[in-house]
Amino acid sequence: MSLIVVGISDLQTSGDPQDVFITYSLGSCIGVTAYDPAARIGGMIHYMLPLSQIAPDKAAARPAMFADTGVPALLNTLLSQGAAKNRLVVKAVGGAQLMDQHKLFNIGERNFLILRKILWKNNILIKASDVGGMMSRTLRLELDTGRVTVKSSHGEVEL
């Protein structure tokens, strides 16, 4: 097994069933896993912000920073590696907030909203999600089984 850490503003894909993806410190950011169980190809993204229009140059350098550039990049990479869109199992985690958080800072909520929009346009449903609340999360995807787990201060659960 090789553990591949997906950093902040990072996306990774693989067709090696030995690989396990993990991403840490999901606060208001969203971690998305996409997995094709038949082709056993999968990927993970950890994006920070919803829309790239606020900084197109940053999005060009690091598409995975934003939902609207990163999520399509994740899907396209998987499809080009042989995954089929209608088989993709997509799960999403994160979108948390601080105590007393002002609306303005509701990056987490906006991050999740835009994800649903992008996936809806692609005819993909979110199979499972664990979003919101006031805790950070760690997300894990095992490529041989497609098993997705979420860990927070409340413990670890399968999604």
User: Where along the sequence are the contacts to other proteins (CB under 8 A)?
Assistant: 7-10, 24-29, 46, 48-51, 54-55, 58-59, 61-62, 64-65, 96-102, 104-105, 107-108, 134-136, 153
Least distance to other proteins, CB of residue 28, Å: 4
Structure tokens at 60: 């060009």
Least distance to other proteins, CB of residue 127, Å: 24
CB nearer to other proteins: pick between 9 and 124: 9
Least distance to other proteins, CB of residue 40, Å: 25
Quick one: 50 exposed, middle or buried, by C-beta within 10 A (0-12, 13-18, 19+)?
A: buried
- Quick count: other Cβ atoms within 10 Å of Cβ 51? 14
Least distance to other proteins, CB of residue 12, Å: 10
Structure tokens at 79: 């499809």
Give the DSSP per-residue string, 29-78: SEEEEEEETTTTEEEEEEE-BS-GGG-HHHHHH-GGGBHHHHHHHHHHHH
CB nearer to other proteins: pick between 75 and 139: 139
CB nearer to other proteins: pick between 103 and 121: 103
- Confirm if 92 and 50 have CB atoms less than 8 A apart: no
Pairing of strands 2-5, 19-26: parallel
CB nearer to other proteins: pick between 28 and 129: 28
Least distance to other proteins, CB of residue 140, Å: 16
CB nearer to other proteins: pick between 102 and 121: 102
